[in-house]
Structure 1
Amino acid sequence: MGPVGPHPAVADVRRVVREALSDLDRGALVLAACSGGADSLALAAALGFVAPRAGLRGGLLTVDHGLQDGSAERAAEVAALAGKLGLDPAEVLTVRVGTAGGPEAAARDARYAALAAAADRLGAAAVLLGHTRDDQAETVLLGLARGSGPRSLSGMAAASGRYRRPFLELSRATTVAACEALGLTPWNDPHNEDVRYTRVRVRAAILPLLERELGPGVTEALARTARLARDDADALDEWADMAYQNCALSDIDGIVTLTVAGLEGLPGAVRRRVLRRAAIAAGAPSGALSATHVLAVERLVTAWHGQKGVDLPGGRTAVRRYGTLILAISPIP
C-alpha cells in the first residue's frame, strides 16, 4: 500500500494557499494574520507548509485588540505557535480600538492599520487573511441589507493590494476539519457568539434560517453572487474611470468641474460612479458619502429645473452653473 496523503481538508487549505502565492518572487515574505480561530489557524498552518516548498518565507502576525481580559496572553500563545508551524517572524501587534463607526468597524480599522504598518516595516509582499466562503456570504447579506449597490454585494476581493484571501472558495467547516486533522486547537473568540454584533446575528440566525427555508446551498449561492457582482462592478468602474476623464473639465485643489452634456449621455450606473468619484475628489469623505447624496447630485444633471445646490459630507457642495457641474468646498463663490 502506497503512502497516505493528507486529510482532504488539509489538502484543500494547502492547495488554495499555494495558488494564491503562485505569482510571488522566490524569497518574498508572506505574513498570515492569525487570531487563533479555526480559519486563521488553518491559514497559518497551510502557509507554514507551502512557503518553504515554494521558495518563500512565511511569518505570522496576531493582533491584540485589548477588548477582553487575558487578550494579551492569548495573543502571545498564538505567536508562540509560529515556531511549531514553521513561521518566522512572528509578532503580536497591540492596538487601541476607537469608537468611530461602531465597535465592529473600529476594531477592523485598528486591525488593518496595524497589519499594514507591520507589513511595511517587515517588507512583506503579501498578507494572508482567513476569510472563508461563509464570511463572504455574510458580507453579501449585510451589503444587501444596506442597499448599497453591486460593489457592496461583490463582497470581499480574493486579492486587494497586499491582502489575499485564499479561503474564499472554502467553507468554515473545511478549516475546522483541517485544524482537527493537524492536531491544532482553535480559540473561539466570545465576540463571535455575541449577538450584539450584526454579523454574529447574520451568522447565527439569518443564514441558518435561509438554509432551512430555501434549502441547502444558500451560502454557496451568495458567494457565487459576490463573484458575479464583482466582475460587473469592476467593468462598470473601468467604464466610469474613462468617463470621468472625458467629463472632467478640471480637477484641481479640491475643485472638480464636470460637463453636464457629457454626464447626460452616460448610463445611470456609470454616471453615478463618476459623480461619486468627483465628490470624493472634491473632499467629501468616502465613508460618509451615501447613495442618497449621489442621487441628489445626479438630479442636478437629469432633473434640472434651476434648483439650489446639494450639500455633501465634509462641508462640500455640488452646484450646476451654465452647463457645468461644480463640486467644491461650501460655499462655492
Structure 2
Amino acid sequence: MRRLSATLLDERLARALAPFLDDSARPALLAVSGGPDSTALMHAAARSGNDRVCVATVDHALRPGSVEEAIGVGHLAAELGLIHTILTWDAPRHGSRIQAAARGARYRLLADHAARIGAHLVLTAHTLDDQAETVLMRLIAGSGPSGLAGMRNERPLAPGIRLARPFLSIPKADLVAYCERHQLPFLRDPSNTDERFTRARLRRLLPLLAEEGLNAARLGRLAARAGRDDAALRQRAEAVLSRITRTDERSLRLDGDRLRREPSAIVLRVIDAAFDMVALAHEPPVPKRLERLETLVLDALLPALAEGRAVRRTLRGVLIAADGEGTIRLAAAPPRRAPDRRR
C-alpha cells in the first residue's frame, strides 16, 4: 500500500475534519478511546484552531486497566489543550452480546454528554478498515442494500445531535503512521485480536480476500454504491408511504391496492417503515430480520392483495392484516399470554 508523506497525511486529515470543525459556534465532542485512530483524530482536531473541541472517553470497565487507559487519554488531551471527560458504563451486563451492548451504551453516554455540554456533533474515528469489516459482516448476514451501505458518514445520534465519521475513507495504516510521525502514544485494544468476536476473526480473513482483489478499498466502494441506491429507494418509499397512509388512535392503515402496484423493493421498504412507525414504543426494540420481512411481504401479503383475500401476520411486535378489500392495517400486537404452568 502506498504511504503518504508526512505533509500530505497531515493535509488529508485536516481536509477530512474541516467540514465538521469550521463552525466553532457550538462545541464538537470527540470520542477518543486511546487507540491510534481516535488519537490521530484528537491530535488533528487540536491543530484545527477550533477552540470549542471537547474530548470524551467511554470506560466500559470490561477489562483490568481500562480506567488507567482513560486517564492516559486525559493526560494527552490536556497536553493538546483539550477538555477531557471520562464516561463510565456501570450498568449490569447480561447475555452473550456484550460488544453490541457496549456499543449501544457508548453511543448513549456520548449523546448524553454532548447534550450536557451543548455539542451538536459527536465525531468518531472509524476508518476504511472498519467500514470494510462492517460491509463484510453484513454481507455474511445476508443484508440488502441498506445494510451493505455500511456505516454512514453522518447520521442522527439524538435530537439536535449528529454523529460524524470524518475518517471513514482513510485506511487505518495511515492513522497509525500519523501517530508514529507525531510521536503520539496510543493503545492497542486486545479485543481487536480476540477471536471470540466476529470482527477479530474477519480481520484475519481480510488479508486473504485482499489477495483475491476484495480489499478494503473495494468494500468501501461497495458501501458507497449501495448507499446511493439505498438513498434513492428510501426517498421513493417515503413518498409512497406518505400518499397511502391514514392513521387513527390505535392503528396505521395503508392503501394496499395502490401499494401493490409498486416494485417489490419499494413495497418492502414501505412496510418496513410502517412497522417502524407502529413499533416505536416497543421495549426492548425487536431486531430486524430482512428474511422475515421478505417472507411476510413477498410470500403472504402481496399474494393476498393480488387475490383479494384476507391475511394476518405478526412481526416485530406488530400485527399486520389485509382485509381482502385492499386495506392493510398495522397495530401493536396484543401481549402474549404467559403459559399456564399449573398441573
Whether these two folds match at TM > 0.5 is: yes
1:11 and 1:182 map into 2 onto residues whose CA distance is 14
Cα 1:244–1:101, aligned 2, differ >3 Å: closer, same or farther?
farther
Cα 1:292–1:185, aligned 2, differ >3 Å: closer, same or farther?
same
2:169 and 2:288 map into 1 onto residues whose CA distance is 31
List, as ranges, runs of 4+ consecutive aligned residues in structure 1 with deviation greater than 6 Å.
none
Deviation of residue 125 (structure 1)? 2.2
Deviation of residue 247 (structure 1)? 1.4
What corresponds to 2:221 in structure 1?
Answer: 224
1:178 and 1:253 map into 2 onto residues whose CA distance is 56
Q: Which amino acid aligns with 2:131?
A: Q
Identity of aligned residues (%): 35
Q: Which amino acid aligns with 1:218?
A: N
Q: 2:256 aligns with which of 257, 260, 263?
A: 260
CA contact (8 A) 2:127 2:170 kept: yes
What corresponds to 1:33 in structure 2?
Answer: 31
1:125 and 1:246 map into 2 onto residues whose CA distance is 33
What corresponds to 1:94 in structure 2?
Answer: 88
Give per-residue Cα distances to partners, 1:248-301, cap 9 Å, x unaligned.
Answer: 1x2344511111111111111111010011112222756423223322332444
What corresponds to 2:321 in structure 1?
Answer: 319
Q: What SS class does the counterpart of residue 325 from structure 1 fall into? A: strand
What corresponds to 2:247 in structure 1?
Answer: 251
1:274 and 1:101 map into 2 onto residues whose CA distance is 33
What corresponds to 2:341 in structure 1?
Answer: none
CA contact (8 A) 1:275 1:297 kept: no
1:280 and 1:95 map into 2 onto residues whose CA distance is 28
Deviation of residue 6 (structure 1)? 5.0
Cα 1:329–1:102, aligned 2, differ >3 Å: closer, same or farther?
same
Give per-residue Cα distances to partners, 1:97-151, cap 9 Å, x unaligned.
Answer: 5336711110100100000000000001211100001101111101111112111
2:247 and 2:142 map into 1 onto residues whose CA distance is 30
Cα 1:185–1:154, aligned 2, differ >3 Å: closer, same or farther?
same
2:129 and 2:148 map into 1 onto residues whose CA distance is 14
Matched residue count: 317
1:310 aligns with 2:313: yes
TM-score of the pair, normalised by structure 2: 0.87
**1:171-186 map, 5 Å:** 171-186=171-186
Q: What SS class does the counterpart of residue 309 from structure 1 fall into? A: strand
1:264 and 1:165 map into 2 onto residues whose CA distance is 38
CA contact (8 A) 2:286 2:316 kept: no
2:96 and 2:131 map into 1 onto residues whose CA distance is 21
What corresponds to 1:330 in structure 2?
Answer: 333
What corresponds to 2:339 in structure 1?
Answer: none
2:116 and 2:313 map into 1 onto residues whose CA distance is 43
What corresponds to 2:57 in structure 1?
Answer: 62
What corresponds to 1:156 in structure 2?
Answer: 151
Deviation of residue 242 (structure 1)? 0.6
TM-score of the pair, normalised by structure 1: 0.89
**1:136-155 map, 5 Å:** 136-155=131-150
RMSD: 2.0
**1:67-146 map, 5 Å:** 67-87=62-82, 89-96=83-90, 98-99=93-94, 102-146=97-141
CA contact (8 A) 1:300 1:319 kept: no
